Chains A and B, each alone.
Chain A
Amino acid sequence: MTRFSLRISALALAASLALSGQAIAQGTPVRGGTLSMILNPEPPVLVTGVNSASPVAAVSPRMFEGLATYTPDFKMVPVLATSWDQSADGKTITFKLRPNVKWHDGKPFTSADVQFSFMDILKKVHSRGTATYLHLIAVETPDPLTAIFKLDEPSPYIMRALAGVESPIMPKHIYEGSDPLKNPANVKPIGTGPFKFKEWERGNYIMLERNPDYWDAGKPYLDAIIFRIIPDGSARAVALESGAVQYGTQYVVPLNDVARLAKLPNLNVTTAGYEYNTSVNYLEFNLRRPYLQDRRVRQAIAHTINTDFLVKNVWFGFATKATSPVTDKQKDFHTANVPQYPYDLKKAEQLLDEAGYKKGADGIRFKVTIDWSPSGEMFKQTAELLRQGLQRVGIQAEIRNSDSPTYLRRVWTDNDFDINIYSASNIADPVIGIQRFYWSKSIQKGVTYSNGSGYNNPEMDKILESAQIENDPAKRRKLYEDTQRLVMTDLPNMGLVYIQWFTIHDKKVKNLNTTGLGPMESFADVYIEK
């Protein structure tokens, strides 16, 4: 019984943390100290401009800054740009840049770097930048401290993509004339951020040191940041518990262990700082499969999933039931006023009977396979739960385990799957984060995390395409509400839970979440209490 009550308290803990998720500066900062953070898995490079994978994003923002950053409610805060001005037609954006900023190698930062970063890096080699900056046709540089963005269509979402983690400003003098993907600076970065690269011992740690010439005088407060690479979940828990490491994010420890750690006197667990980076756990149907082409079958399957069980026993409270494909954190777009599919096995059986898939003599209606994203134990457990649910209504399901490349190719290149369980970030704006799953033009073989279900509905295309170039916030909201309603009616995919990331840190570490980027902020403000 004690185990059970512990788990209840984990749920209560997660709920109360969600409430306290506010970003405020704390106390009076002091200089000095080294912050040890957990990093897992080990990133291939350290620059999000050339690789936007999450382990890269855990390191890069301390060294690379964007033009701006964002408050938890998405207000822009100046970083490398001090002010910005958008023309009425939305096709020209003028940025005034911060003076006296130096690269880590001492060279001055200018508008040429901004131009190079957007036109030659982000637009060309960044996995999402190619879409985000599709309509950006030129960056003009009338003087070293002015950059003017020229667009051929209004792209309001650009103003949400300027954070250092998503659109880092990179040094032109280092990258110009080279293949950016193979540039040696990707593993020994030169940025403008508060921390400079010091050393990287592979399989062990990455060390950054304080940038004494940082433009924000007096900052950063820390002397150094060490990222410790610890591949094992239980070991990460030990490291935090013993104080060997003071900070960890996302799935840093097994979720069942969080409640215990939160009770320790030296540790604090918080869900603040994940306003910008919101992920949804989806279930996707392959609409090319005969059984799954019938909407009633998809709805029946949706009724077999006990989402409460998922939230409680798989996510241990660090997720909430999804009510639509857009996370409720995106208050500008989310709506729960859409069809819902509660856990109801009788309803599921009824729908399957209606669809004409009666149980055979062996009690089986038909067989499906389930693939899950090998990026977390939670997805595997969700697959196992789904299999047991399907079995109860007469659908025999087989789970397939794959390594990352096989999984990605199976789903997004070969389309050789029935049901796929994965998570994806909604990122800052639906054009970047949501449209890709439902637009018929996003049915692109080989492009991962695109429209894998093969969903092709002219009505949906019309809504999405109007939203792309709509500059009026109220009208955009309306269009995305329609999107959500249509998704929940057609069910090409469905949200299962909204993932609530959390940070575990030593209580002495302060000022961690001064903006909405939390763990992906520059850490210039972070300090360790003496």
Chain B
Amino acid sequence: MQAFRDFWRRYRRKTSAVIGLVLLLFVFLVAFVGPWIVPGDPWDMATMPFLWPGTNAEFPLGSDTLGRDILTGIIHGSRVSLLIGFAATLAALGLGVTVGALAGYFRGWIDDVLMRITEIFQTVPTFLLAVVLVAIFKPSMTTIVLAISAVTWPSIARLVRAEFLSLREREFVQSCVVIGMGETRIIFRQILPNCLPPIIVMSSVMVASAILTESGLSFLGLGDPNLMSWGTMIGIGRDAMRTAWYMSALPGVAILITVLALNLVGEGLNDALNPRLKNH
């Protein structure tokens, strides 16, 4: 409890971090409560198409090319974006932490092989690879999550490896080795908890970039066709850009706010969790 209070004291020192947290909580609130306040299927052709925002109180943000309510779309889209963002990050963490920990702890040929594989994934342009994976394995929630995690795990792996390399030389780890503690236990109980702060900081940024990647994929028509995501909405609006630019503009703002919030929170966490690093 005391630890948390210390953390919060450090976190709230930075105004931008607090703003980010408020924004992020707001996005979460929309995702959790929104669908109850604005019920209905975001795909329903609810009104006449090409309704401009502010012209009809029932549809405050207007309607798209087929008369679907944009507000409903943005609210339901928040669930899709957050879900994909967090799921992809979790999957990437699973893979990245495993690879990084193995490489950093065992070193030697294991490290060589794993790092060579990591390097391959880091060399191929990531978005291009994600596009290829989704296009080939058919766009769906699962393939999108897996594709995003497949291109983001290397950075986690490198981070965890670096932490492991330095931590395993520390005294507390060496003493564990001396008293004959099992390797699994050392890895999971001793070293891993000590690399959590940088992992947490990186995760928030990864969620943000996963959301951006998903929106890019959906924009290219590689989104899940049964889910109304923000990227999908931008793609729908694109054809009508000259007559109704609001269709693309509004969901873009939603992405911007969410990603901004996640980045601000990430910075705040960095300051609060790594007090020794002076942040600028």
- The answer to whether any beta carbons of A and B sit under 8 Å apart in the complex is yes
B7 interface hit (Cβ, 8 Å): no
| Complex contact B243–A256 (CB within 8 A) | yes
B60 interface hit (Cβ, 8 Å): no
Closest to B63 in A: A3
| Complex contact A3–B240 (CB within 8 A) | no
A448 interface hit (Cβ, 8 Å): no
Interface segment among A119-127, A265-273, A345-353, A379-387: the answer is A379-387
| Complex contact B221–A381 (CB within 8 A) | no
Alpha-carbon gap, A61 to B57, bound state (A): 53
Chain A residues within 8 Å of B6, by CB? none
B241 interface hit (Cβ, 8 Å): yes
| Complex contact B50–A254 (CB within 8 A) | no
Interface segment among B13-21, B37-45, B191-199: the answer is B37-45
| Complex contact B138–A256 (CB within 8 A) | no
| Complex contact A3–B52 (CB within 8 A) | yes
Which residues between 246 and 273 of chain B lie within 8 Å of chain A, taking CB atoms? none
A354 interface hit (Cβ, 8 Å): no
A7 interface hit (Cβ, 8 Å): yes
From B52, B138, B139, B243, contact of A257 by CB (8 A): B243
| Complex contact A388–B45 (CB within 8 A) | yes
Q: How far is the CB of A205 from chain B (nearest CB, A)?
A: 23
Chain A residues within 8 Å of B48, by CB? 4
Using known A-B contacts A377-B239, A403-B135, determine if residue A256 contacts B43 with beta carbons closer than 8 Å: no
Which residues between 392 and 421 of chain A lie within 8 Å of chain B, taking CB atoms? 398-403, 406
Q: How far is the CB of A395 from chain B (nearest CB, A)?
A: 14
From B55, B221, B226, B239, contact of A233 by CB (8 A): B239
| Contact-size category for B | 20 to 34
Closest to B56 in A: A1
Chain A residues within 8 Å of B67, by CB? 313
Chain A residues within 8 Å of B50, by CB? 3-4, 7, 256
Closest to A260 in B: B243
Q: How far is the CB of B163 from chain A (nearest CB, A)?
A: 40
Q: How far is the CB of B221 from chain A (nearest CB, A)?
A: 7
| Complex contact A385–B239 (CB within 8 A) | no
Which residues between 40 and 93 of chain B lie within 8 Å of chain A, taking CB atoms? 41, 43-45, 48-52, 55, 65-67
Closest to A256 in B: B240
Using known A-B contacts A237-B242, A256-B50, A257-B243, determine if residue A385 contacts B135 with beta carbons closer than 8 Å: no
Chain A residues within 8 Å of B44, by CB? 388
Alpha-carbon gap, A4 to B51, bound state (A): 8
A200 interface hit (Cβ, 8 Å): no
B168 interface hit (Cβ, 8 Å): no
B10 interface hit (Cβ, 8 Å): no
| Complex contact A256–B239 (CB within 8 A) | yes
Closest to A401 in B: B225
A 436-450 binary contact with B (CB < 8 Å = 1; else 0): 000000000000000
Name which of B48, B49, B139 has the most chain A CB atoms within 10 A of its CB. Answer: B49
| Complex contact A385–B242 (CB within 8 A) | no
| Complex contact A314–B66 (CB within 8 A) | yes
| Complex contact A387–B243 (CB within 8 A) | no
| Complex contact B43–A387 (CB within 8 A) | yes
From A260, A388, A401, A403, contact of B43 by CB (8 A): A388
Q: How far is the CB of A29 from chain B (nearest CB, A)?
A: 34
B 222-240 binary contact with A (CB < 8 Å = 1; else 0): 1101100000000000111
Which residues between 1 and 24 of chain A lie within 8 Å of chain B, taking CB atoms? 1, 3-4, 7
B 207-222 binary contact with A (CB < 8 Å = 1; else 0): 0000000000000011
| Complex contact B242–A257 (CB within 8 A) | yes
| Complex contact A254–B66 (CB within 8 A) | no
Which residues between 342 and 377 of chain A lie within 8 Å of chain B, taking CB atoms? 377
| Complex contact B243–A399 (CB within 8 A) | no
A26 interface hit (Cβ, 8 Å): no
Closest to A232 in B: B238
| Complex contact B138–A400 (CB within 8 A) | yes
Closest to A1 in B: B55
From A3, A260, A313, A398, contact of B66 by CB (8 A): A313
Q: How far is the CB of A425 from chain B (nearest CB, A)?
A: 24
Name which of B55, B226, B238 has the most chain A CB atoms within 10 A of its CB. Answer: B226
Closest to B55 in A: A1
Chain B residues within 8 Å of A1, by CB? 55
Q: How far is the CB of A40 from chain B (nearest CB, A)?
A: 14
| Complex contact B241–A234 (CB within 8 A) | yes
From A234, A381, A401, contact of B238 by CB (8 A): A234
Chain A residues within 8 Å of B138, by CB? 400-402, 406
Alpha-carbon gap, A228 to B55, bound state (A): 39
Closest to B62 in A: A3
| Complex contact A234–B239 (CB within 8 A) | yes
Alpha-carbon gap, A403 to B66, bound state (A): 23
Closest to A254 in B: B239
Alpha-carbon gap, A380 to B139, bound state (A): 14
Closest to B45 in A: A388
Alpha-carbon gap, A400 to B140, bound state (A): 9
Interface on A for B, CB 8 Å cutoff? Answer: 1, 3-4, 7, 233-234, 237-238, 254, 256-257, 260, 309, 313-314, 377, 380-381, 384-385, 387-388, 391, 398-403, 406
Which 9 pairs from chain A and chain B are nearest by CB?
A254-B239, A401-B225, A399-B225, A3-B50, A234-B241, A256-B240, A313-B49, A401-B139, A233-B239
Please name 8 pairs of A and B residues whose Cβ atoms are closer than 8 Å in the assembled complex, sorted by A: A7-B49, A254-B239, A256-B244, A313-B49, A388-B45, A391-B41, A400-B225, A403-B135
- Given A388-B43, A401-B139: 10 more A-B contacts, CB < 8 Å: A1-B55, A4-B50, A233-B238, A234-B242, A256-B244, A313-B45, A377-B239, A387-B43, A399-B226, A401-B222
